[in-house]
Amino acid sequence: MHASFSTGRLALTGIGLTLLGTALAAGAQPAYESLDTAAEAVEPQVIEWRRWFHQHPELSNREFNTAAKLAEILQAMDLQVETGIANTGVVALLEGEQPGPTVALRADIDGLPVTEQTGLPFASTETADYNGAEVGVMHACGHDSHMAMLLGAAKVLIAHKAQLKGKVLFIFQPAEEGAPEGEEGGAELMLKEGLFDKYRPDAVFGLHVGLNMPHDTIAVRKGPALAAVDVFRVIVKGRQTHGSRPWGGVDPVVTASQIVLGLQTIASRQLDVTKAPSIITVGKISGGIRHNIIPDEVELWGTIRSFDPEMREDIHRRIEQTANHIAQSAGAEADVSFDYGYPVTVNDGELYDAMLPTLERVAAARPVITPQLVTGAEDFSYFAREVPGLYFYLGVVPEGVNPLDAPSNHSPLFDVDESVLITGVRALSQLAIDYMNNN
């Protein structure tokens, strides 16, 4: 059931949008005022969509109802819609009436295994199986807002179809939070299945809400913006013995502890911190079954965050070297393995320079800010490795609230100020228009 919404902003009916599109089709160039008017017209529907998606979240590679809803909405817009890409992805193509480049706009669609605690009237009560346990499911990262804003941008651009100098590819991408173990998914699988071979864009744009940005503020960073993420696993192999006679075996617990400390010296003492930051975190230690038995082995799992491809490889080498040498010094062994995750998300320098004026115009009285490097990771990075990409942020905390005090992304209390969503609609649609006009 869709939640109702009322707003004090200017709202055009569907007839009003039709008249706007007819007037534009008569030959007038799309003025920014008309783009803003079209965005205001779709604002109530954007919020209604956001609430539906928020109430019906699904985990990565399981976004079946989400995909069906997206396809239904996009088909009602008379767009060319393709479903089933990378399992549950949906894309739609809008062809302008003038020749020009292809612009891709991307939103992610999956939820998280988080039990919602917001108390919203449209809060999620969904549950799902995750790693063998029944968990709550929530759009705790704002992907519900991303989908709704991109749908809103589609309606705005359709109203300006006669003036579009090229094509717009709307990408609704599944599994941004990571495919389940043993499965493929997300942007990487979309590309592997030939998405950019079939619809080769000249540029790709995406945005993310939250991330502790101030209310209704646009933030964008040139060059590296979000970290590469990798997983490492170290199995420390010792020799079991009684806890009262440690000299009768090789203690992998103490050795693993020394490895944890040794790994911290890689980022703090071995890498040039003036070049780029990096993080090595051990998040899981497991081993042993009883208080007085020294076990045969201990397992460490951790995450690596980096912003430079060469440093990324160097960190892997140093982790393996550190773990092996410490283990050898104790008479133990260390088996080290890595799972490569998302690469660095890099905002193309030329595209940033060209499109910053667009974002500044959309931001109006609020200055566009340059955020700090974000040590989170994003698989938008795969798209941005193929074609020039620009990824920016939108602050969605309520006005007057310190963003550092607000629940952050992935919190069971995470929420968005829905009055800000129109800014995302305006930004996405005007980036597409300006890129086409400038290229």
pLDDT in tens, 25-58: 444 445 799 999 999 999 999 999 999 999 999 9
104 and 39 housed in the same domain: yes
Q: In what order do the strands lie in the sheet with 80-85?
A: 80-85, 89-95, 165-173, 98-108, 203-209, 389-394, 218-220
Give the pLDDT confidence score for residue 30 in this predicted structure. 59
Q: Kindly name the residue from 342, 382, 391, 435 that is annotated as catalytic.
A: 342
- The single-letter DSSP state of residue 2 is P
Same structural domain, 331 and 426 = no
Which residues on neighbouring strands pair with residue 391, listed in sequence order?
A: 206
Are residues 232 and 192 part of one domain? no
120 pLDDT above the threshold of 50: yes
- The residue whose two tokens read 């045969």 is 296
Spatial CA neighbour of 13 closest among 38, 50, 36, 33: 38
Q: Is 359 helix (H, G, I), strand (E, B) or coil?
A: helix
Catalytic one among 43, 63, 418, 435? 418
Question: Mean of the per-residue pLDDT values for the chain?
Answer: 93
349 domain-assigned: no
CATH (domain of 406): 3.40.630.10
Residue 135 lies in a domain: yes
Domain count, the chain: 2
- 301 domain residue, yes or no: yes
CA dihedral 162, 163, 169, 171 (to 10 degrees): -100
> Residue 413: helix, strand or coil by DSSP?
coil
Residue 351, in any domain of the structure:
no
User: pTM for this structure?
Assistant: 0.90
pLDDT digits (tens, 9 = 90+) for 60-94: 999 999 999 999 999 999 999 999 999 999 999 99
HEC profile of 150-179: HHHHHHHHHHCHHHCEEEEEEEEECCCCCC
Residue 17 has pLDDT above 60, yes or no: no
Q: Which residues pair with 133 in a beta bridge?
A: 130
Instruction: Identify the pLDDT of residue 10.
Output: 33
Largest CA distance in the chain: 90
- pLDDT per residue over 296-333, tens digit each? 999 999 999 999 999 999 999 999 999 999 999 999 99
pLDDT, tens only, 179-196: 999 999 999 999 999 999
Domain of residue 192, residue span = 14-227+371-438
Residue 30: inside a domain: yes
- Asked about 342 being catalytic, the answer comes back as yes
pLDDT in tens, 249-308: 999 999 999 999 999 999 999 999 999 999 999 999 999 999 999 999 999 999 999 999
- Is 386 tagged catalytic? no
Here the CATH number for the domain that contains residue 237 is 3.30.70.360
